[in-house]
Structure formats: structure tokens, C-alpha cells
Amino acid sequence: MTMEIDEAPQKVGIAARIVTPGTAITNDPAFMRGHGTFSEHDTIYSSVAGVVERINKLVSVRPLKQRYSGEIGDIIVGRITEVASKRWRVDVNSRQDGVLLLSSINLPGGIQRRKSESDELQMRTFFAEGDLVFAEVQSYFADGALSLHTRSIQYGKLRNGTLVTAFPQLVPRSRSHFHTLPCGVDVVLGVNGYIWVSKHVSASKVEANAELIYSDKNEPISDDEREVIARVANCIQLLNRLYVKITDTSIIFAYEASLAHSVKDLLTNDVAVELAHNVMARLEQQA
């Protein structure tokens, strides 16, 4: 098999080339360099291994695998790692912990209440270390850390369920990341790969109890509800293992196909492969 080692930069045919770090992409000054590139002496070089992408005048290299790096507007699930002065540090499965400022959360007892000094001193009554939070990316700090906010009734502390970790690339960005599945389970699909599966709590109930948005107490969950939550969680894990995109549709398809097996068996290799193929076939049919 012959293989070209690209040493000279090329002006034409930039798109769809596979490059490795240090490969020269172009020395045409008309192009701007994007992610995955660096420039030295008027030549744009690739800094990662991947496919060269050209959009108008922007040249970038998209590597296949990278840690989740947030974009403004992303809906994510994170875990509080530290309580600091007027802010929390949140593990968001990214290169750096995200930051949730005290001024970016809803204070209990009505959205419009002013932040008081006692709020600063009682930050653990809102979020403590280990809590899971459903938030949106608001902006970046100067060093690239994500700044999060939960300024909406649907965001906040997560309860009544279990966390599943998936590859961030498998969770597509869409209009809504909070879904109620027909089997009676709520699913929060964090774009950073953290997915929360929980017992369904109606929205009206949440709004009625505005004082309890930071409560640590779970609702009572029956054994049947636990089994459904576990089944959905295992379905998501097997979708993740076989690189199937994780959307509400694919989870529903996987759930329906999984009813023929016990919850425990869903993670064995044979069953997982069979169900994943089943889901992929149905998704293709639908498309």
C-alpha cells in the first residue's frame, strides 16, 4: 500500500484530507486557522490527527476523540466537587471543572429575592460536595473554564434517580434535553456525557414546592419504579458501549426491545449486541 507523506503545503484539495500533527495544510494567507491548527511562519499546520475541514475561509482539523469542551448554551449535568467563596466548582467531564457562581442560581423562596450575606455563609444548604446539578453553560472564564447557571425552574439539583456516564460525542445537541419517557421515567441528557435517569415527577409538583428545590430528600420510590429506572439506565449503558447515538428515540427503542430480557442480562455481551443492532435497524427505518 502506497502512502503519501504530505510535506509540501497544498492550496487546492484541502477538504477531506487526513492529517497528523505537524502536517502543513496550507500557506495561502487568505485562510484563517481554526481549532486543531497552529501557524508558524505564515504556514498553517495541523496540531492533532484528524480530518481537515474547510468552511469558507476557515481551516480547522477535527480530531476524533477529545474531551468534552463546552459551548455556550450547552445543557449539562455536573457534580459539585468543591464549595468555594461565592461559587461552586463542578465536575463537568471536561478539561477543567466548571464554575457555578452563587449569583447564577435561583435562591429558594421566589426567584427575585436578593442575595444576602447569610446566603454566602450557608452555601452548603444549596449545593454541597457530591450533589448533582442540571445547568446550562452561560459563558467562559479567561482560562477556558465554563461558567454555569441554573436560572430556570427546570434546572437545579437532581434527585430520585441514578447517573449514567456516556461518551459526550454520543449525546447530540438538540432543542430539549429533558425527556419524560412513556415508561414513566425522566431522563436528562447532559451534552457532556453525564445522563440522569430518575423517577418521573410532574412539573406542576416541582413548581408548587419552590421552597424545596434544594432539598436532599428523595421522593418515595417503589420497587417497580426502581426496576424501570435500572432498566433504562442499563439500556443507555449498552447504547454507549456500542456507539449508538443516545437520544430519547433510541432510548425508547432500546427499552422496548429490552423487555424480553431481565434487567441484569442487559449488560451481558450477547444481549447488548443484539439490542443495539435492533435499535440501529429501527433508527435506520425511521430515517
Contact residues: other proteins, CB under 8 A? 1, 3, 5, 7, 18, 20-24, 36, 38, 45, 47-51, 63-67, 95-97, 143-145, 169, 243
- Which residue, chain included where needed, has cell 430520585? 160
How many Cβ atoms sit within 10 Å of the Cβ of residue 32? 13
How many Cβ atoms sit within 10 Å of the Cβ of residue 36? 22
What is the chain's length?
A: 287
Nearer to other proteins, 206 or 283 (CB): 283
How many Cβ atoms sit within 10 Å of the Cβ of residue 228? 20
Sheet of 194-199, strands arranged across: 161-165, 194-199, 185-189, 178-181
Nearer to other proteins, 23 or 160 (CB): 23
CB of residue 22 vs other proteins: minimum separation in angstroms?
3
CB of residue 266 vs other proteins: minimum separation in angstroms?
19
Nearer to other proteins, 26 or 198 (CB): 26
Nearer to other proteins, 142 or 259 (CB): 142
CB of residue 149 vs other proteins: minimum separation in angstroms?
20
CB of residue 140 vs other proteins: minimum separation in angstroms?
12
CB of residue 167 vs other proteins: minimum separation in angstroms?
9
Q: How far apart are CA 148 and CA 100, in angstroms?
A: 5
Q: How far apart are CA 232 and CA 240, in angstroms?
A: 12
Nearer to other proteins, 213 or 276 (CB): 276
Nearer to other proteins, 10 or 262 (CB): 10
Q: How far apart are CA 63 and CA 23, in angstroms?
A: 14
CB of residue 104 vs other proteins: minimum separation in angstroms?
20
Cα distances (Å, whole numbers) of residue 214 to 45, 158, 244, 254 = 49, 9, 34, 33
Q: How far apart are CA 102 and CA 280, in angstroms?
A: 43
CB of residue 141 vs other proteins: minimum separation in angstroms?
10
Nearer to other proteins, 97 or 225 (CB): 97
46, HSE (Cβ side, Cα atoms, 13 Å) = 25
Spell 54-69 as b/e; 16+ CB within 10 A means b.
beeeebbbeeeeeebb
